[in-house]
Structure 1
Amino acid sequence: MPEPTSPAEDVYRHGLRLMLDKDIPAWVDLWAENGVMEFPFAPDGWPRRLENREAVAAYMRHYPDHIDLQEFPELRVHQTTDPETIVVEMRGIGRLVETGRPFDMTYIAVVTVRNGHFTSYRDYWNPLQLLEPGADFTGSSR
């Protein structure tokens, strides 16, 4: 029997399906108007905080032009004491569109969903992967 999910987890999983479908406008529609996306480990020159849905949309608009996400293996969703907040561990696999090189990124995210929309999304993606030989994330949603 599958584990029960929370509304926050349901929205998050739906968002992952939209990312795999390259439906960025529908993914952006999952955001509250005043939702905030943060990247605490972003290296210099990369955004650390996006203040609202419009900023998130601008940041993500060209994502599929740079990264072709193909799957999210190893997805683990952890419920918290706040039913609107989840912690997600996952790995995104695909390829870099321009070079065809593999894309393999690990993430931890702390996500809050209220009334069916993301209100807070702290994305702890791994910036060390930018230092790997041959890594080229130029323009990939920076």
Structure 2
Amino acid sequence: MADAATPEQVFRNGMSLLVKNDFEAWAGLFAQDAVMEFPYAPEGAPRRVEGRAAIAAYMRPFPEHMEVRELTDLVIHTTGDPRTVVVEFGSAGRAVATDEPFAMSYVVILTVENGLITRYRDYWNPLDAPASMRQGWDRASA
């Protein structure tokens, strides 16, 4: 039996799926009881999503708002825990509603067990998100 994928391998696989805009397959990289956290999420956007099904539902509308075309500036830092890495990267693409370019930056703390993501803590900058996504948050908090 082959060893389970490392956190770096899982992350790189996930990023290749996002560039293909395959958010369903990306959600499939998560354990059934995985947790996504967004400490800097704006008002109206979730700060915590629990479970693979909820993560898939959360990600499903993203292709309506953004098309990720490339990932940039990828740096993966190992930690004292072999299950966990800290990842810095950027994404660039286009906002679907306006066809305007966007660029976002991220710092992710990723924990993987048995080849599946169990925790994905995403320190992204909501101010860089396409306007069509921000408008959704504004309506949710109104």
**TMscore range, shorter length:** 0.7 to 0.9
Question: 1:127 Cα shift?
Answer: 2.2
TM-score by length of 1: 0.87
Matches within 5 A, 1:11-90: 11-90=10-89
1:109-133 deviation line (CA, Å, top 9, x unaligned): 0000111111000000012335xxx
Q: Which runs of 5+ in 2 are unaligned?
A: none
For 2:40 and 2:64, the matched residues in 1 are separated by 23
Is this contact kept in 1: 2:38–2:121, CA < 8 A?
yes
The percent of aligned pairs where both chains have the same amino acid is: 48
> SS at 2:73's partner residue?
coil
Please state which structure has a larger fraction of its residues in helix: 2
**Aligned twin of 1:125:** 124
Per-residue deviation, residues 15-46 of structure 1 (Å, max 9, x unmatched): 00001111122111100000000000011111
Structure 1 residues 108 and 68, CA gap change in structure 2 (3 angstroms):
same
* Structure 1 runs (4+) greater than 2 angstroms displaced: 127-130, 134-140
**What does residue 3 of structure 1 align with?**
none
RMSD: 1.8
**Residue identity matched to 1:76:** V
Count of matched residue positions in the alignment of Structure 1 and Structure 2: 133
Contact 2:72 2:89 in 1 (8 A): yes
Inter-partner Cα distance in structure 2 for 1:139 and 1:17:
27
One-letter code of the match for 2:123? Y
Q: Distance in 2 between matches of 1:129 and 1:30?
A: 25
Q: TM-score, normalization: structure 2?
A: 0.87
- Cα distance in 1 between the residues matched to 2:62 and 2:41: 16
Q: CA deviation at 1:73?
A: 0.9
